[in-house]
Chain A
Amino acid sequence: MRWPPALLLGGALTAVFAVAALVSFVWTPHGVEGLNIAEKLRTPGATYWLGTDHFGRDILSMLMVGARTSIAVAIVAVGMGVTLGVPLGLLAAARRGGLVDEVVMRGNDLIFAFPALVIAILITAVFGPSALNAILAIGIFNTPVFARVTRGAALSLWTLDYILAARVAGKGGFRISVEHILPNIANLLIVQATIQFSLGILAEAGLSYVGLGAQPPTPSWGRMLAESQTMISFAPHLAIFPGLAIVLTVLGLNLMGDGLRDLLDPRLRRAR
């Protein structure tokens, strides 16, 4: 089997950030808490590879810890979307054309009318800002995405002969969904999860940037960018590195998604 180059490149990029996030639990080049004003606003060099911020904190160390925040928020948000959306999609497909299907699909349409940012605004207006709000907002936004993808893929399977055979064998809608439908749409869901994961990283950065996500002192890429904004004219490195971290992570995940799609579903290769 030949591995698609996009998968290898994307996987490598993603791995770099995943490893950086994991390593940050036990080691970072410098500490990320506490002030060190004597070392503030250093440009990239031998001691501080990517320079320091206005409090003298090491940018590289903050990026490593920030990766943790981004990845954690995105993983939980995608997990929430999968856990809620996939069963709803399977249910809607099993009851296709019925009342349950209609209710699930209209519910989906309704959630689609609330962009993740608007959900985050609503939650924050009531409970105040926190990283949990970002997770909830992105997770709620992900749910109809997975419900739709699952339902669409499951619907086409329900018309096939082997499903009919399973019904003749006496299996009910629930068993067929779990034993026959789910394994056959798993590939599709994995690809979708990769895409939603990259969207989650972008959304988390955006929410933190406007102050609706992770709060100080938790380092996060979006907040690093927000803090760098007023200093961009004399310390552009503060703005450039966190942005690059976001771009490379999202790019890695998107490439990985494309590669996985090619690998798992050869039929789609022609269409691209």
Chain B
Amino acid sequence: MLRFAISRLVSLGLSLIVASLVIFAVIEGVPGDPAAFMLGLNADPAAVAALREELGLGGSLPARYLDWIGGMLRGDFGISYTYRVPVADLVAARLWVSLPLAAYALALSTAIAFPVGLIAAARRGTAVDAGIMGATQLGIAVPNFWFAMLLVLVFAIQLRLFSAGGFPGWDEGIWINVKALTLPAVALALPQASILARVMRSSVLETLGQDYIRTARAKGLTRRQAVFRHALRNAMIPVLTIIGLQFSFLLAGAIIIENVFFLPGLGRLIFQGITQRDLVVVESVVMLLVFAVITVNFLVDLAYAAVDPRLRRRR
């Protein structure tokens, strides 16, 4: 296990280095002067020179790369050109919206998908199963931002149960913010729950066909007991894999959904960065997102090697 963990850790480190090189190359290695690019075509040369100085564009490419990475490792993400404050502060503030939103959506989708998938598997071939499979098929096809707009139309505009967008801030109390995040989280959770319920169903069906379930039934357990004592635990491995893989979709989805509800999260920050040509913000936030995806995949790998020793030898 230790050997496996170390080899995965080395691979994690390499992935992060290569990913950071790619991002750095795309943002700073493009032809032209980033400072001139950020200020636009008609910029005053003196202003461009000042910005070059401010962005630390003086040194060579390798020096600038090391500077950027070294800064990020110390928590210094540079200074935002438009906001004139450290990017790290901006990111920290926005994370308190994006992370709770993602966690809320993940909790919702898991809470829906597990029982629904299990019921579909237990009632395989019946009308209940067909209904659930049809509903999940639809859930996968619905773009989450459109579903979000429909939720706003029904629950905010018609029924006036929720506000159509915005985020009061955590100082205003917990419930009012949870309420503000509810529609976005539901919209984000729908496609995730649909995919997860389908994986859950096929995974439970797969384990139900195994010999050890037949053995369990033969020794006198009811079907229900066999499912809960033996099938469920074994069915969880592929389900956990999918939850891990979905993390990057959840992150991307959250970025889009924040736009629908005008939530001040990482998504809004990155889009403002793009429209205002604030490349320092874009570069750092993209690196942070990629870091999160790579790290989560690493943790998932490690988690199921811990659960299932057979997987340790595979790589």
Contact = CB atoms under 8 A, between A and B. Distances in A.
A116 B274 CA distance: 16
A122 B286 contact: yes
Contacts of A233: 153, 157
B26 A122 contact: yes
A236 B154 CA distance: 11
B170 interface: no
A246 interface: yes
Contacts of B22: 110
A228 B145 CA distance: 12
Contacts of B256: 117, 206, 209-210
A228 B153 CA distance: 12
Contacts of A121: 270, 274, 282, 286
A125 B274 contact: yes
Contacts of A206: 143, 145, 252, 256
Contacts, number: 122
B149 A109 contact: no
Interface in B181-221: 202, 205-206
A251 B206 contact: no
Interface string A208-238: 0111000000000000010011001100100
Contact of B252 (A112, A115, A243): A115
Interface stretch (B52-60, B222-230, B289-297): B289-297
A114 interface: yes
Given A113-B297, A118-B286, A247 B270 contact: no
B251 A115 contact: yes
Given A114-B290, A236-B153, A246-B146, A126 B248 contact: no
Interface in A86-141: 106, 109-110, 112-118, 121-126
Contact of A124 (B30, B138, B274, B290): B274
Q: Which 4 A-B pairs have the closest CB atoms?
A: A243-B146, A117-B252, A250-B141, A251-B141
Interface of B: 11, 14-15, 18-19, 22-23, 26-27, 30, 137-138, 140-143, 145-146, 149-150, 152-153, 157, 202, 205-206, 248-249, 251-252, 255-256, 259-260, 270-271, 273-274, 277, 279, 282, 286, 289-290, 293-294, 297
Interface of A: 106, 109-110, 112-118, 121-126, 198, 202, 205-206, 209-211, 225, 228-229, 232-233, 236, 239-240, 242-243, 246-248, 250-251, 254-255, 271-272
